[in-house]
Structure 1
């Protein structure tokens, strides 16, 4: 049977011409390849970013993997005529593979579906669908093959009986799945999820899939990070070609069978010194990690013979061996003239090396500058899929060479800015801003310094959305903003219309978990900040409606903006960043900021601050929200100044704790919610913190049971991304190790994050940096280390979840036979660290919980979720309990417990 399929597969190559240099005698057939025949079942309905929650109707039938092809069998689908669909056949384009590499190209379409009618009524949401495709991989010969499988645009798939979740939805091609395949035919079941955000809203909602399978050899490998280099390295600057930053990294993958530990690092002889930034770096088999290092004392490039190449030697030891092995990685640094935009590396808070493109002020710009003057930052946020280390980005501001500003293009961590410029991506922005001062000191800069707290933020497309985020979440840092062709919010870009139906109690919590993305509700924070919006009138990627809507809403919120719609222009055009309107806006606002002399604080106008999550929102005029009374619900603080009496009147909604800046000491009195406050400031530059208890505001610290939830611990489940250092992933049972490895690869794939895989919980707890991800089954989960009476517990037998709900009402959720039981929830650690618990009653249930470890944005996962296998076909409706923890880590009143 196998031989017949292999012969048929090889004969299918007859339509392809072989290389002229090959003869039949010399021809070597590939030992691993895809077969051309595929079977497809679909399409089925799915909502925006709903695949994380399951929502696969075939799971009611045991899953696609349990189904055999039968064209006579029908399945219910809301997208098809008569409400039914059948299996179909598809022939993949499989080019002649070589002995190491094979691909399969699938063009999946459903011409029998009346897509136009659906879109006319429901818009882009109707162009999102899901289906499954089954193909085969054949391994010839007698030996097991070790392969890397790349799955661009795929989130979920099965190889034989092994499930993989995470894939490569954004087509990064950064971290493949490594698999060992025995001789024979292997089934490959691929879940297809068409997503407008990542694939576009086109006239025909087809899906082009390009699977890539490559044979690999055991050993430690360096992974290409850019088109030209495996080393992430700063540019060399100026005539002497000095390195812009000492930070560098190489992504390594362990394709061996044993653990690998780094033991040392060296650079080309006689050109400098280099050191690893971590004392212990271990890679388990199959793991990918970015290895960060620092280059010291490297001389100008003209002083060593090989100006165009630097070699980095990594020493490592394979477990069970006594001697070190060396891996040599080469880089060809780019040399950039002084004053031009150049790449600078820096450390992301997550413990990885990131980079940004920086252009310092020109000589002409600094000539009229005053002594000790500082220039602001023109912060440019890129769109989805854009690599800032490209000539297009480096040169996009060239028409404005003499701005009195430091021009900065951060990456956000990835080409998709990590998470749409939110938790992970915005941490990268702030780290890039902090890098500028180091860059100034490194080059002994003689011109104006940088004001790290004064930004003119601009961005295109997804960067336009990021501009709205920055404007509404860091209003004290923004002196002007220019969203260009940006969408208003992820919820409004592609509505969640086609998501599976769910109880409003559940959907409300999911939507509440996305409140920080809902910029339309936060525009009061922009009051007093000049905003210029620009959009192409013919934009079919991000419709101009988004900018028109925000132009209306920002005015209704008491702020204002200028709006320029460019007739006939689409989503992007040459000069989109430097149109006449934008040029005038940049120059005017930067000039005003450079020349401004700030008045006294009490001359400020009345203002408001609206907060969805204090963990990702800064202050407005120094007033900062620290805790909400009810998480998952907007909070608001309104401040009014009486110019005659100098009274300061504060009104709050849904606040538990907030901070007043030092200038409130100049108020004749402070009134908070009709309560006159005896506020004292111990020091002239100190702030005052107010906390509410029993409906009364207090200025003294309150005695509460430990621990209090503050800072980076605040926010829904994706607050785990606020890690300060690499993640520590701990499988508390050995059987969970494969899932721990999947989570590790997903975090690097989607965020470029670093992870340490360890089985020692105590070591991870005592490490002073890095958030923890714990994987546990049954009764293997240790208790919360700093809150023994944590409101979510696993029953002693490991077969039920106990929840101490609002008002201390207990609920026990049992493991029902055949449905399993899983939970994913946050727990507090010291120093604002977090632990993400991923638990299942068994390994199958654990895989359900692992789906919710952050990958894509817009999924709306709250602080905790308890579920069973019903979510796989019901989606959100299958959740048993979900909700938020309050400021004392107790379950909030907004929780849903079935």
Structure 2
């Protein structure tokens, strides 16, 4: 055993902006960095947060690794504007960072599990680990520590979104977990196994499960089999079968945790049980074949009384769950809408008070998706895909009468009445979206980006966008970065700006809903979006905000409010497709992150990441053609949602189309003449090496793959230290995707990378290549197939952008490029040295709101200047050339 220190050294606080720390932006780096500074009662460092402009060292006591809540002397928070009245900078001034140092003594060389909850980065003897910022509690790092003293250094950020705001003094805390591993097994199942709910008298609400397996050994292991056995309370084993979703053994790298999906079925006798005991048997193959066992108890629930969890295969092949609340009446109406309810930050979808916040509806099902975790990605990207997969999967399960739940037993047939035996979920393409707080923002996001699925929206206490929730205005970087570079970075998250995409919502009934005294998401957010909606329709009274006097951010009945329920019932009863009127617009900055709008799917932009629009004029008088006027659009599709009357023909920017009975397929603009043409068979478009929306970035797309995220290790290295560095980096990438999205990653060595030839049309693969081509054989092969304007030099190592060469120590590069396959997006992370590589590695986005474009060169000054230390950054055009704005 090892004892954590009872006393820790603290230095700070210093300013830091929302989502800024991954760019560096640490003022102490101007003085050599915290790791090089020794504790001193006299040394002080400049910080505008302090009354006299300087902060120094202090010590705090800790118990069981819990450090804080921290309070700093010499900080007059009210003068900085922390209190809500008269705030000069808003919550952004409450974002601060500090450093924490402690020492642990290890009696003998041993292996430990390590994690810091509440911090996104910490260091063991200067080796950087990615922490558990939200204290989700699902991950642990494995590290071997030699005999002797070891230094733990923690960079702690007071993130308002985690710790709250408007309270003086703002306080944050973290918890250090360090425990010697006494496991004798090479692997373990570190967290509860995911299984669907056991519905009393019916069976399991799904046939899929998830077992997370962590490799504790020093070598690669392969999971060859996972099986579950199910027992009644009297220990009688039920007849069941189970198998992994993967037909091949699953390799797990040393220290890595992978979520393994399983499928199972149970004999119909389970319908008589109110609880069962489950044994999980995991077979692994490494140096020897071993079996790991884990036991758990599953209690039955009454689906007439509470929401239940069902499991499904998500877009990337991992198994996830969503909660469902069945209606009062199960009927066979296939057209009834479904309600999708999006939770707030830090809230599990299974939390009882959340699933109870919406009353049971007469005939419409309510689905509560997870967004993949309690924090997710602000309902962007992976979270949105998860929500849509939850809808599609429950409809699919119902189509098959839930037969996959048990062997030879039909759930629907087990229901009592004849009317109930033919029930359906309804139309999952006709959805009423509801959300609260972050989920309220998510409801705005889905309605502005995927409006063709929305019959109506209730956005309760939802903010406009992250930059307006906790402002980016107080970033350390702002004092160092030029407006052009800052604009380039902001373009990477412009696709998530709900206000910019408001025109896409035209015709959708909206109810903004908020408490009048909300001190978390002020009513100003809802009122502003209401104003923009009404301006867009030129009707000042079209949408009105429901503002409840005396209520704050959350209150009992926030969604049971009479106004909310009357709105819901009215929209469910009408369940009509939104009416667009004779004029509407489609708006986006990135087709990769948006669905069809009024049946129009933008596929390609003339200048990627610039605002693009399609204005549609639907004339009613006979003989007048429907007209499409485009701005910065070079290709779009008319989808199944298109209800435009095009029988008399139509025009796109002056190009006439007639005689097309049911216009579908793709319309592409000639880049020379400007004329448009219809391509019914899109197999011929795009041409090789040309980008469509599938291969647009930004780097946030790294988690959108339909297969496990693949991380490729270099092996052409000069030393064992280099090898250890890259292995450690790969584990941090896999850690982040598992922690923040319960995502799966495959770590492979470069010589083992083969070109994929089996991809289907809907597949999308993301591969991360670590190191320069000289270090990474797979990257060498990839760059030999097609070069681009970002290259590498050796002797000395350098990064080449066009004719500009960067070779200074500490310089790194991160960029997208085409992969081996036409539906593969490659991400390259490299540096001229170890420091440069690590600087580039930090830029891989693991949380929503990080501003990372399609490529960036980061220099050593970023350590304290943040964005001001970026040497270049930008995007690619449709032919993978650097886009010159």
TM-score by structure 1 length?
0.87
What is the aligned partner in structure 2 of residue 419 from structure 1?
377
Alignment deviations for residues 464-505 of structure 1 (CA, whole Å, 9 cap, x no partner): 000010010001111100100111110100111111221111
What is the aligned partner in structure 2 of residue 27 from structure 1?
none
What is the aligned partner in structure 2 of residue 97 from structure 1?
none
Are 2:810 and 2:833, in contact at CA under 8 Å, matched by a contact in 1? no
What is the aligned partner in structure 2 of residue 721 from structure 1?
703
What is the aligned partner in structure 2 of residue 689 from structure 1?
667
Distance 1:564 1:109, change over 3 A: same
1:316 equivalent in alignment to 2:284: yes
Alignment deviations for residues 70-117 of structure 1 (CA, whole Å, 9 cap, x no partner): 232232222223432222x222222xxxxxxx4233332223122222
Between the aligned partners of 1:695 and 1:82, the Cα distance in structure 2 is 65
Between the aligned partners of 2:93 and 2:571, the Cα distance in structure 1 is 42
Between the aligned partners of 2:267 and 2:251, the Cα distance in structure 1 is 27
Alignment deviations for residues 18-62 of structure 1 (CA, whole Å, 9 cap, x no partner): xxxxxxxxxxxxx31122222221111111110011111212222
Between the aligned partners of 1:104 and 1:242, the Cα distance in structure 2 is 42
Quote how far apart the aligned CAs of 1:393 are.
Answer: 2.7
Are 2:441 and 2:465, in contact at CA under 8 Å, matched by a contact in 1? yes
SS in structure 2 at match of 1:132 = strand
What is the aligned partner in structure 1 of residue 405 from structure 2?
none
Once the two structures are superposed, the pairs formed by residues 625-774 of structure 1 within 5 Å of their partners are 625-644=602-621, 645-661=623-639, 666-673=646-653, 675-678=654-657, 681=660, 684=662, 686-694=664-672, 696-699=674-677, 706-733=688-715, 734-735=723-724, 736-760=726-750, 763=753, 765-766=755-756, 768=759, 770-774=765-769
Are 1:233 and 1:249, in contact at CA under 8 Å, matched by a contact in 2? yes
Once the two structures are superposed, the pairs formed by residues 569-588 of structure 1 within 5 Å of their partners are 569-588=551-570
Moved more, 350-359 or 266-275: 266-275
What is the aligned partner in structure 1 of residue 195 from structure 2?
233
Quote how far apart the aligned CAs of 1:270 are.
Answer: 4.7
Between the aligned partners of 2:203 and 2:396, the Cα distance in structure 1 is 14
Between the aligned partners of 2:61 and 2:669, the Cα distance in structure 1 is 63
Once the two structures are superposed, the pairs formed by residues 187-336 of structure 1 within 5 Å of their partners are 187-203=151-167, 204-218=169-183, 219-223=185-189, 225=191, 230-239=192-201, 241-268=202-229, 270-278=238-246, 279-301=248-270, 307-317=275-285, 319-321=286-288, 324-336=289-301
Once the two structures are superposed, the pairs formed by residues 396-475 of structure 1 within 5 Å of their partners are 396-398=357-359, 401-416=360-375, 418-440=376-398, 441=400, 442=402, 443-444=411-412, 446-475=422-451
Distance 1:220 1:248, change over 3 A: farther
Are 2:796 and 2:807, in contact at CA under 8 Å, matched by a contact in 1? no
Distance 1:438 1:67, change over 3 A: same
Alignment deviations for residues 807-826 of structure 1 (CA, whole Å, 9 cap, x no partner): xxx3332211x433433434
Moved more, 756-765 or 115-124: 756-765
1:870 equivalent in alignment to 2:852: no
Distance 1:214 1:428, change over 3 A: same
What is the aligned partner in structure 2 of residue 111 from structure 1?
73
Between the aligned partners of 2:664 and 2:440, the Cα distance in structure 1 is 35
Distance 1:385 1:695, change over 3 A: farther
Quote how far apart the aligned CAs of 1:352 are.
Answer: 1.1
Quote how far apart the aligned CAs of 1:711 are.
Answer: 3.3
Are 1:539 and 1:571, in contact at CA under 8 Å, matched by a contact in 2? yes
Once the two structures are superposed, the pairs formed by residues 525-544 of structure 1 within 5 Å of their partners are 525-544=504-523
Quote how far apart the aligned CAs of 1:449 are.
Answer: 4.3
Moved more, 469-478 or 441-450: 441-450
SS in structure 1 at match of 2:840 = helix
Alignment deviations for residues 777-797 of structure 1 (CA, whole Å, 9 cap, x no partner): 462242536961323222355
Between the aligned partners of 2:793 and 2:675, the Cα distance in structure 1 is 39
Between the aligned partners of 1:221 and 1:576, the Cα distance in structure 2 is 45
Distance 1:721 1:42, change over 3 A: same
Once the two structures are superposed, the pairs formed by residues 110-189 of structure 1 within 5 Å of their partners are 110-119=72-81, 120-139=87-106, 141=107, 143-164=108-129, 166-189=130-153
Quote how far apart the aligned CAs of 1:700 are.
Answer: 5.3
> What is the Cα-based RMSD across aligned positions, in Å?
2.4
Distance 1:210 1:480, change over 3 A: same
TM-score by structure 2 length?
0.89
Quote how far apart the aligned CAs of 1:337 are.
Answer: 2.6
Distance 1:376 1:588, change over 3 A: same
Aligned length: 822
What is the aligned partner in structure 2 of residue 359 from structure 1?
325
Quote how far apart the aligned CAs of 1:884 are.
Answer: 1.1
Are 1:342 and 1:357, in contact at CA under 8 Å, matched by a contact in 2? yes
Between the aligned partners of 2:241 and 2:500, the Cα distance in structure 1 is 52
What is the aligned partner in structure 2 of residue 28 from structure 1?
none
Moved more, 124-133 or 58-67: 58-67
Moved more, 41-50 or 453-462: 41-50
Between the aligned partners of 2:796 and 2:428, the Cα distance in structure 1 is 50
Between the aligned partners of 1:121 and 1:372, the Cα distance in structure 2 is 55
Quote how far apart the aligned CAs of 1:741 are.
Answer: 1.1
Once the two structures are superposed, the pairs formed by residues 34-73 of structure 1 within 5 Å of their partners are 34-73=4-43
Distance 1:449 1:685, change over 3 A: farther
SS in structure 2 at match of 1:32 = coil
Between the aligned partners of 2:792 and 2:659, the Cα distance in structure 1 is 46
Distance 1:555 1:251, change over 3 A: same
Between the aligned partners of 1:654 and 1:84, the Cα distance in structure 2 is 50
Are 1:777 and 1:843, in contact at CA under 8 Å, matched by a contact in 2? no
What is the aligned partner in structure 2 of residue 92 from structure 1?
61
Between the aligned partners of 2:675 and 2:880, the Cα distance in structure 1 is 21
Are 1:612 and 1:635, in contact at CA under 8 Å, matched by a contact in 2? yes
Structure 2 stretches lacking a partner, 5+ long: 82-86, 230-236, 403-410, 413-420, 716-722
SS in structure 1 at match of 2:738 = helix
Between the aligned partners of 2:796 and 2:373, the Cα distance in structure 1 is 39
Are 1:383 and 1:463, in contact at CA under 8 Å, matched by a contact in 2? yes
Between the aligned partners of 1:494 and 1:433, the Cα distance in structure 2 is 31
Distance 1:386 1:762, change over 3 A: same
